[in-house]
A and B are shown apart, each in its own frame.
Chain A
């Protein structure tokens, strides 16, 4: 809630600390370039000229130590599962997870298979599920905007 007090000059805004912290944190989520399968191509197209992910303040980082957001895009297999857990553990708190595509949500069309983890939420906690196979560029952007609204509402200072 930003209020404008009539006694102060026009370039002064009054707000709460929670609001400012939320606004700062939601507009600079750095994402980890983590693509497993077909959804990774749609993620690259979202970061391309037409989708333009960078206008939301997300910058791509190749290493998990510098990233806040991981977008699991693609099918997770049992062989890869321990590596995903390792990468998630290497990210510093606070961190967010978007499960992109049906294979990451629930196993997708490969849930009949013997070597596929039925959903990435069996190993790491997920904040946002984006459905689609693969989800369109606009769908992923909407997922990101909803995640930003979730980050804005977090009470960061109080426990």
Chain B
């Protein structure tokens, strides 16, 4: 078709037009995207069948980081398994720790002291801010801008200092224990966190003005990879991806755990601010809004933390009663569910299964990518915010 009509169709930008373009010509090529690629999501491979620049079929290939964590769990006691849960999603390590501790405590009817619950909430929300930073930075990197990633790394270094003062480590914290937490948070650290939160809001404003309100950024992400409400439910999306498609579901509100039922915060949903509800720009904006909500939760938790002990009395050789449980928490990338089955005799789980949010987010790729151009596919993939170890475990 004439180049002028090609241009007009391109700027209209709906997926339907692009699929018609693909069906016309039949010179196609199979190319390979990954597993080694200069992006921060990890080792994921997508096999693409392309016609020029337009993709006609996509097939993701995972498993390059499959480490067999579920099989390792069958040979370790409940207490010793805690460091492995860090490595399931290393960007949100405390959330994975407390999800596992909660599943074991619910099955074994173990009490957690009040102060330990507040400590868990404070570190979990700090970690949520860390993880969302690592989501909004690489979106800009995958579109070609290198500096926002360095801004984000600088901010993460500030929070790393606080997390190192609390837990002793920078990336893999191993903070929660069955029945509480490992170390207490002192008042000095709480004052430091409050000082950091005063600095966070102006920084988010500056970042959003630079990146999110940038015309090029908006034009590249708007109306891209729209996931409707029914599709989001059918693909079992969870976390910010589900909320960006318009469904108001947050496990911290619908099925509260720890002390979230006493704290006051909103659940933002995607509103189609610049385009349609559920496009990539909504997913980016959703994470910015959630960082602001986490800031509210942190301030309330710091001001109302009680005094007390931080670890309950749990036997060294912990044998859980015979039975099974599926317990889920809200991790930054979606619903993190642990299924534990115990046979009542040994101090090791009989079966441990981990359900992560990134695994079900990847199922949208094969459905949504056909019809896009390669650069758009990279931007859509970045807006989903997956990490490789969560998919492969």
Contact = CB atoms under 8 A, between A and B. Distances in A.
B65 A77 contact: yes
Given A48-B154, A80-B35, A36 B72 contact: no
Contacts of A83: 35-36, 64
Q: Which 10 A-B pairs have the closest CB atoms?
A: A48-B153, A62-B38, A113-B68, A38-B90, A80-B64, A110-B67, A49-B154, A50-B157, A33-B38, A115-B68
A113 B90 contact: no
A41 to B, nearest CB: 6
Interface in B48-79: 63-69, 71-72, 75
B184 to A, nearest CB: 24
Contact of B36 (A38, A49, A77, A87): A87
Interface in A127-150: 133-134, 136
Interface string A3-17: 000000000000000
A114 B171 contact: no
B87 A37 contact: yes
A38 B157 contact: no
Interface string A69-107: 000001101011001000100000000000000000000
5 contacts: A40-B42, A44-B40, A48-B153, A87-B36, A109-B84
Interface in B138-189: 150, 153-154, 156-157, 160, 170-172
B150 A79 contact: no
Given A37-B388, A42-B170, A79-B64, 11 more contacts: A33-B38, A38-B172, A40-B40, A44-B40, A44-B153, A45-B156, A77-B63, A83-B35, A112-B75, A113-B71, A134-B172
A75 B170 contact: no
A116 interface: yes
B83 interface: yes
A75 B83 contact: no
A38 B83 CA distance: 13
Interface residues of B, number: 34
B65 A80 contact: yes
B43 interface: yes
Contacts of A37: 42, 65, 87, 90, 388-389
A62 B90 CA distance: 23
Contacts of B37: 62
B67 A75 contact: yes
Interface of A: 33-38, 40-42, 44-45, 48-50, 62, 74-75, 77, 79-80, 83, 87, 109-110, 112-116, 133-134, 136
A109 B43 CA distance: 20
Contacts of A44: 40, 153
Interface in B317-361: none
Contacts of A109: 83-84, 87
B136 interface: no
A14 B40 CA distance: 46
A45 B157 contact: yes
A116 B389 CA distance: 13
Interface in B67-113: 67-69, 71-72, 75, 83-84, 87, 90-91
Contacts of B36: 34, 83, 87
B172 A133 contact: yes
B65 A36 contact: yes
A40 B389 CA distance: 12
B38 A49 contact: no
B67 A77 contact: yes
Contacts of B71: 113-114
Given A36-B42, A49-B150, A80-B65, A136 B170 contact: yes
Contacts of A112: 72, 75
A44 B71 CA distance: 30
A93 B336 CA distance: 45
Interface string B225-246: 0000000000000000000000
A48 B157 contact: yes
A136 B169 CA distance: 9
B43 A41 contact: no
Contacts of B40: 35, 40, 44
A77 B153 contact: no
Nearest to A47: B153
B225 to A, nearest CB: 24
Contacts of A134: 170-172
B72 A75 contact: no
Contact of A42 (B66, B150, B171, B388): B171
Given A77-B65, A83-B36, A115-B68, A49 B83 contact: no
B43 A80 contact: yes
B241 to A, nearest CB: 22
Contacts of B157: 45, 48-50
Nearest to A110: B67
A41 B90 contact: yes
Contacts of B63: 77, 79
A50 B36 CA distance: 26
A36 to B, nearest CB: 6
